[in-house]
């Protein structure tokens, strides 16, 4: 009987760990996709007629 309880506890810990891992993987995936979108939006600095550099998005 103690082996069954230990097996149940180990199974619960593994199940909880798997859920936490899946949640973390989803968070990292969303963060990576957001960073990739930002990277695709190209920005550059252009010098205006007054000599001041301004951010200009290239679409």
Tens digit of each residue's pLDDT (9 = 90 or more) over 9-29 = 999 999 999 999 999 999 999
Structural domain count, the chain: 1
Q: Whole domain around residue 54: which residue ranges?
A: 2-58
Structure tokens at 54: 């301004």
Q: Quick one: DSSP state of residue 10?
A: H
Place of tokens 């252009």: 46
When comparing pLDDT for 55 and 16, which is higher? 16
**CB contact at 8 A, 54 and 45:** yes
Predicted TM-score of the model (pTM): 0.58
């Amino acid at each position: 009987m103690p082996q069954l309880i230990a097996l149940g506890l180990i199974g619960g810990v593994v199940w909880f760990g798997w859920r936490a891992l899946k949640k973390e993987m989803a968070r990292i995936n969303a963060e990576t996709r957001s960073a990739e979108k930002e990277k695709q939006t190209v920005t550059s600095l252009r010098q205006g007629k007054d000599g001041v550099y301004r951010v200009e998005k290239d679409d």
